[in-house]
Amino acid sequence: MLPHLWCSGCGNGIVLSSLARALAELGLERNQVVVVTGIGCWGKADDYLSTNALHGTHGRALAFATGIKAANPKLCVIVLMGDGDGATIGGNHLIHAARRNIDLLAVVVNNHNYGMTGGQVSATTPAGAVTSTTAYGNPEREFDLCELVMAAGANYVARGTAYHVPQLDRLLREGIEKKGFSFVEVMSPCPTQYGRRNQLGGAVKMMEWLRDHAVPVKSFREKRDDLPPGSFPIGKLHEGDDPDFNTRYRDIQARAQKEGQV
Amino acid sequence: MMQLFMQGNEAIAEGAIACGARFYAGYPITPSSEIAEVASRRLPQVGGVYLQMEDELASMAAIIGASLSGVKSFTATSGPGFSLMQENLGVAVMEEVPCVVVDVQRSGPSTGLATKPAQADLMQARWGRHGDQAVICLSPATVRECFDLTIEAFNLSERFRVPVILLADEIVAHMRENVELPDPSSIKVVDRKLPTCPPEEYLPFKPDPDGVPPLAYYGSEYIFHATSSMHGERGYSQNDPENAAKKIERLFSKLTRHMDEIVHFKRYYPGDEFDLLIITFGATTRPARAAAQRAKGEGIRAGVLQLITLWPFPEELVEKEARRASSVLVCELNLGQLVHEVKRAAGKDKVFGLHKANGEGFTPKEILSRIKEVAGSAQA
């Protein structure tokens, strides 16, 4: 148990343990791993890891990570962002990193609001939900991040939850191993801010809600219309094999070097 | 020596490659775009990487990431893009990441006269970021200086673990001149100081006696943690006031202690004696020199001091040189940014300005006219 700053009932610690297990099981050397973090509760995760780390500005983690990986293709780059950081302020970088198919793992822990700044609305806050800046209900609609990233061209897209831990371990492992842009969204409870304002019944109840609404993707696709409202698919949602940015760029370098000699 | 008919922007890109830069991330903007275009063709030829990012915020972030991977990195932009880079430029200051940002200034405010020259980003270069922070800023006046000062920008950046701003302007960036590039073997290239201690003892923000900490790179045997939040020598968050004061003061002092290495300038003094000192930077130096020549015919002895290093401001140099003149004239393509610094260093009674912000450069004639006014008032 580490001393940490997360609230009781928060899912971040569970995701962090899952990531640490994934790194250990893959046998990666600490000096070959760079963890890049955004701003917010989950953006503090780098403080609890003993790998290389870069903690930058709000929303830009994927842009820092793109430079790290493009400059040194051998590094294992893992980017940890919340939904505010990774999908709201950082939404543009998210779609372009996926389009570019840069070889890294992006983990967005989605707790449906800005936890650290006081529970404000984010791009994944469900329509109608109450936050500290949507007292009358959210007038905007939420992003489905997995669909967004899939459409943008990611090679690996998966969704897990802080409740389904063995599955999460596997998804993070697969995401690290997969060449190209890998995206894992982790649905995670925020009882202190989001849960409290929406009367979701505290940490245990929020975990039970995840248990009851997360549906393995295969059965989700088969039974979609019969599932309770709010149900969502978990597991590996998409896998492709497009060449990643560095592979494509090696070809560019080879062509440039050939033509440059003429 | 290689003779080339070359544009300022091309010389900047070639200068970067000549001193070992192998990563460029940027977003197109006039009048800097040729730097990106040359970089996109030349970098893959030398094993480097060109990345056109989705915006300037991402560009600045990407060059920081690449530099921490151990690769000399740069970007180029103009005023509006430079504004977007400021937040992550602050990250480079705080995490002490070497990198070079070229700002080819154009007329503003905002999108202004997007293809016209100005020198109005001087204060943006100095204070654009929030918080107290120091950077180095150099400004070229000729195509050859574009080449040389890009190399110097990288050298200072690597030497001091600080982002360096090359503050060019539309005139010098788009000007073509016949230039002689130095033999590659004669180019002085400075690389960052790497740690030599055992990996478990490495502290990425513990300064050597010169104030500059050695910098490892991601993937080396050293493991390190970099954060834009206030941090201690280990690179982890540390919020006590003593540590914060020590860190912020060192960000300044690691530069101000070494002004002898940082301050570059050129003197154009007729016979080394003068009554009127003209202070310029960037392309404004050229009409100022022509005006100083013509002033001789009017019986006015005028010398031109071209400031190449603009930040940290070379106060001692300006104070010393100004003391030799009865009056000082600061010529700049803005409404008065450099003149205040010069007044601070030289005393405001003898310092005059010539300012222009209509999207056009100075002519020697208008500078000469102001020289006569200033010389007249100094005699009166």
Per-residue pLDDT of B342-364, as tens digits, reads 999 999 899 999 999 999 999 99
pLDDT at A3 (0 to 100):
86
* Nearest Cα to Cα of residue B166 among B34, B48, B370, B8: B8
Average pLDDT over residues B93-119: 97
The beta-carbon neighbor of A55 closest among B218, B222, B227 is B227
Are β-strands B73-77 and B49-52 bridged in parallel, bridged antiparallel, or unpaired?
A: unpaired
* Nearest Cα to Cα of residue A49 among A70, A71, A28: A28
- Would you give the DSSP letter of residue A8? T
Minimal Cα–Cα distance from B237 to chain A, Å?
A: 8
Percent of chain B with pLDDT over 90: 97
pLDDT at B357 (0 to 100):
97
Angle, helices A91-100 vs B56-68, to 10°: value is: 60
pLDDT at B380 (0 to 100):
53
Minimal Cα–Cα distance from B243 to chain A, Å?
A: 18
Are β-strands B276-280 and B265-268 bridged in parallel, bridged antiparallel, or unpaired?
A: unpaired
Structure-block tokens of residue B6: 């070359």
pLDDT at A157 (0 to 100):
98
Average pLDDT over residues B33-55: 98
Helix (H) or strand (E) holding B259: helix B259-262
Give backbone dihedrals phi and psi of A43, rounded to 5 degrees, phi first. Answer: -65, -10
Q: In which residue ranges of chain A is pLDDT below 70?
A: 1, 261-262
Contact predicate A185/A146, CB 8 Å? yes
Place of tokens 């918080």: B131
Helix (H) or strand (E) holding B334: none
The answer, for A250 touching chain B at a CB cutoff of 8 Å, is no
Structure-block tokens of residue B69: 């991977």
pLDDT band at B378 (very low <50, low <70, confident <90, very high): low
Each residue's pLDDT tens digit, A4-37: 999 999 999 999 999 999 999 999 999 999 999 9
pLDDT at B273 (0 to 100):
86
Contact predicate A122/A105, CB 8 Å? no
Residue-averaged pLDDT of chain B: 97
Average pLDDT over residues B228-237: 96
Which residues face B353 on adjacent strands?
Answer: B330
Q: Which residues of B are less than 8 Å from A152 in CB distance?
A: none
- Would you give the DSSP letter of residue A195? I
**Inter-chain contact B45–A32, Cβ cutoff 8 Å?**
no
pLDDT at A262 (0 to 100):
52
Asked whether the predicted pLDDT for residue B1 surpasses 90, the reply is no
pLDDT at B327 (0 to 100):
97
Which residues of chain A from 52 to 81 reach within 8 Å of chain B, CB to CB?
A: 52-57, 59-60, 63-72, 74-75
The answer, for A20 touching chain B at a CB cutoff of 8 Å, is no
Q: Which residues of B are less than 8 Å from A93 in CB distance?
A: 54, 58
* Nearest Cα to Cα of residue B174 among B27, B30, B3: B30
**Inter-chain contact A57–B228, Cβ cutoff 8 Å?**
yes
Q: Tell whether omega for the bond before A189 is within 30 degrees of 0, i.e. cis.
A: no
The beta-carbon neighbor of B54 closest among A47, A53, A92 is A92
Question: Using CA of residue A197, residue A202, residue A206, residue A212, what is the dihedral sign?
Answer: negative
- Rounded CA separation B39/B33 (Å): 10
Average pLDDT over residues B51-62: 98
Are β-strands B276-280 and B163-169 bridged in parallel, bridged antiparallel, or unpaired?
A: unpaired
Helices (H), A188-244: 196-197, 202-213, 217-223
Contacts of B378 (CB under 8 A, 6+ apart): B275, B276, B326, B327, B350
**Chain A CA closest to residue B47:** A253
For residue A50, give the 3-state DSSP assignment.
Answer: coil
Q: Which residues of A are less than 8 Å from B223 in CB distance?
A: 30-31, 50-52
The answer, for A99 touching chain B at a CB cutoff of 8 Å, is no
Angle, helices A245-261 vs A61-71, to 10°: value is: 50
**Inter-chain contact A93–B25, Cβ cutoff 8 Å?**
no
Task: Give how far Cα B278 sits from Cα of A194, B244, B301, B310, B375, Å.
Answer: 63, 40, 11, 15, 11
pLDDT at B41 (0 to 100):
97
Average pLDDT over residues B163-170: 98
The answer, for B172 touching chain A at a CB cutoff of 8 Å, is no
Each residue's pLDDT tens digit, B269-279: 988 789 999 99
pLDDT band at B379 (very low <50, low <70, confident <90, very high): low
Interface test with chain B among A28, A31, A80, A255, by most B beta carbons within 10 Å: A31
Q: What angle do CA A230, A235, A236 make, to 5 degrees?
A: 125
The answer, for A227 touching chain B at a CB cutoff of 8 Å, is no
pLDDT at B239 (0 to 100):
95
Are β-strands B276-280 and B327-332 bridged in parallel, bridged antiparallel, or unpaired?
A: parallel
